[in-house]
Structure 1
Amino acid sequence: MKKTTTPHIVPIDQYKRTKIIASVGPATDSYEQIRALIKAGANGLRLNFSHGTHDERKRQIKWIRDASKELDKPVAIIQDLQGPKIRLGDFEGTITVESGQSFRLQYGADYDKTGIIPIQYDLSKKMKRGERLYLFDGRVQMTITSIKDGVIHAQAENDGYLLKRKGINIPDTDLGGDVITEKDKADLAFGSTQDIDFVAQSFVQTADDLRAMRQLMRSLNMDARLIVKFETRSAVEHMDAIVREADMVMVARGDLAFETRPESVPIVQRQLVGLGRKYARPTIIATQMLASMTESPEPTRAEVSDVATAVIIGADCVMLSDETNVGK
């Protein structure tokens, strides 16, 4: 191959063509849309098991395989497990948030009757005054002012709004416990009947979490490859051992930014790509690659540069999330 060099950066003749992973969601929940994703160049399709039913996923898997066969293009199917992700509970419509406003949050609360924001995990037993809550993927930040009788009292630090079942990040709090939830076990059992190609494990803390997942997959006779998602501070601290234990590595920059700091993400991204190359583990760069295209037909200049950087540093795949999940 003729050597090609980008001036002042790096030789790129050693890099193969970077693959594209797209997420399937409400905006692409049809055979026609899935076929369009594959035709446009998707090499893998991600199914987010934080949402949806097994019947819905079974239908989507059939569409993927049918479209792949029709287009004569092989496409990997990725089962992305929810893991111990903490989420808001159910409520109607949106909750408007204003900076300085006080809120109450409680496990299993009924918002319509009590005005208390429901959450799907009892954080009152784990958190304490002064610790931070990032709600709705960081769109709203709150600080705990007190906890009493299982109710968390918190003050909003910025304006925003909340929607049901959106994620909560707690960067100051260590929940401990098993990262493989009962929901993950049920979803994995379903995946074992669908001949899934890859399983993505969420919120991994140490290499032992991957070993436990492999043992569970073996008990289900699954031969899928295991992707580790780097989303926690603990995973970053144990990155060498975790990368060696995994089959593939995903830099899940959304949750990672809240668990560490946004300014540390580019450094961690480069470190993980480097370890992936060292141990021959393919790497995926994910989250906000082309986030503006959720609404706009064109990416920003910064997003184009971000994607180019991922390719130049040697990432094997880039992944689209909301862009194809809920984008217009």
Structure 2
Amino acid sequence: HRLGTEVGILADLQGPKIRIETFTAGKVELRAGAAFTLICREGVTAGDESHVGVSYLGLINDVGPGDTLLLDDGLMALQVESLDGDRIHTRVLTDGVLSNRKGLNRLGGGLSLGALTDKDRADIGHAAAIDADFLAVSFCRSAADMDETRALAKAVGWSPHLVAKIERAEAITNLEEIIIASDVVMVARGDLGVEIGDAELPGLQKKIIREALLHNRVVITATQMLQSMVDNPIPTRAEVLDVANAVIDGTDAVMLSAESASGQYPVKAVEAMVR
């Protein structure tokens, strides 16, 4: 208000992001071909090059031999070989460094974790207290997730515009019903790309934008749009084309993440995107 500019506030629910636990040294270096075990149990001691705990204890019920598990937004890949009690025995597929609390996805989706955690339900009350304009639902799977969120907001006397973040394979399957149950749709390309694979992502981005527009819903395209500007003062030509193509396809908004939250050139990133 002081600057004479109206800026909407979007509250983003964390959702059920699955993460590994911690390592004794904070990180480990894993080599392709090495054995590595994920332990689905509370109170697991800090991990090392052979094992680490996971935050979602039900993971062992959602995976099986042959499944590919992706960590750190796909930078590290593990293939499940066997299950034993609370242990998922895997084989490392890619060399790399894995550090504390990195995210974990199953290639192709299929994890049974619900969209709303107890923390999310409490955070709805906090977002209502500041009267945020938008409420984003992370990892939604169906219209039921959006309906539950709307009901929880209504119960505390709040009516935000609901944003469905499309970032799970199941959300693609139920895309139309999710769009209808939402006010805004976000193409959340980070986790979505990890779950369905980068090769499928461009076509799906266009499909999500097209479906949202058909149902007269606002659509946001997000994630790594100007990623190089975290460290550089100008975008790459590929990033310029990425932003332009999203706009040409009909997206109503484009979003910055690390570029403006933790990057070295937040103002330049915003200026570049506006151009």
Partner residue, 2:261: 325
Partner residue, 2:142: 206
Partner residue, 1:295: 231
Partner residue, 2:37: 104
**Deviations 1:54-79 (Å, cap 9, x if unpaired)?**
xxxxxxxxxxxxxxx33221111111
2:107 is equivalent to residue 175 of structure 1: no
* Segments of 4+ moved more than 6 angstroms: none
Q: Aligned letter for 1:73?
A: T
Once residues 163 and 198 of structure 2 are traced to their aligned partners in structure 1, the CA distance between those partners, rounded to angstroms, is 23
Query: Aligned ranges for residues 1-328 of structure 1 at < 5 Å?
Result: 69-91=1-23, 92-107=25-40, 108=42, 109-111=44-46, 116-122=51-57, 123-172=59-108, 174-328=110-264
Once residues 273 and 175 of structure 1 are traced to their aligned partners in structure 2, the CA distance between those partners, rounded to angstroms, is 25
Residue 144 of structure 1, CA deviation? 1.1
Once residues 202 and 109 of structure 2 are traced to their aligned partners in structure 1, the CA distance between those partners, rounded to angstroms, is 23
Distance 1:311 1:113, change over 3 A: closer
Kept in 1: contact 2:110–2:169 (CA 8 A)? no
Distance 1:212 1:187, change over 3 A: same
Identity %: 37
Residue 304 of structure 1, CA deviation? 0.9
Once residues 47 and 117 of structure 2 are traced to their aligned partners in structure 1, the CA distance between those partners, rounded to angstroms, is 29
Which stretch of structure 1 is more off in the superposition, 181-190 or 166-175?
166-175
Residue 172 of structure 1, CA deviation? 4.4
**Larger RCO (CA under 8 A, 6+ residues apart):** 1
State the SS of the aligned residue for 1:185. Answer: helix
Once residues 12 and 30 of structure 2 are traced to their aligned partners in structure 1, the CA distance between those partners, rounded to angstroms, is 30
Aligned residue pair count: 260
Once residues 194 and 224 of structure 2 are traced to their aligned partners in structure 1, the CA distance between those partners, rounded to angstroms, is 14
Q: Aligned letter for 1:136?
A: D
Q: Aligned letter for 1:110?
A: T
Residue 88 of structure 1, CA deviation? 1.6
- Tell me the C-alpha RMSD between the 2 structures: 1.8
Instruction: Give the TM-score taking structure 2 as reference length.
Output: 0.89
* Unaligned ranges ≥5, structure 2: 265-275
* Unaligned ranges ≥5, structure 1: 1-68
Residue 177 of structure 1, CA deviation? 4.9
Q: Aligned letter for 2:5?
A: K
Residue 298 of structure 1, CA deviation? 2.0
Instruction: Give the TM-score taking structure 1 as reference length.
Output: 0.75
Once residues 99 and 230 of structure 2 are traced to their aligned partners in structure 1, the CA distance between those partners, rounded to angstroms, is 17
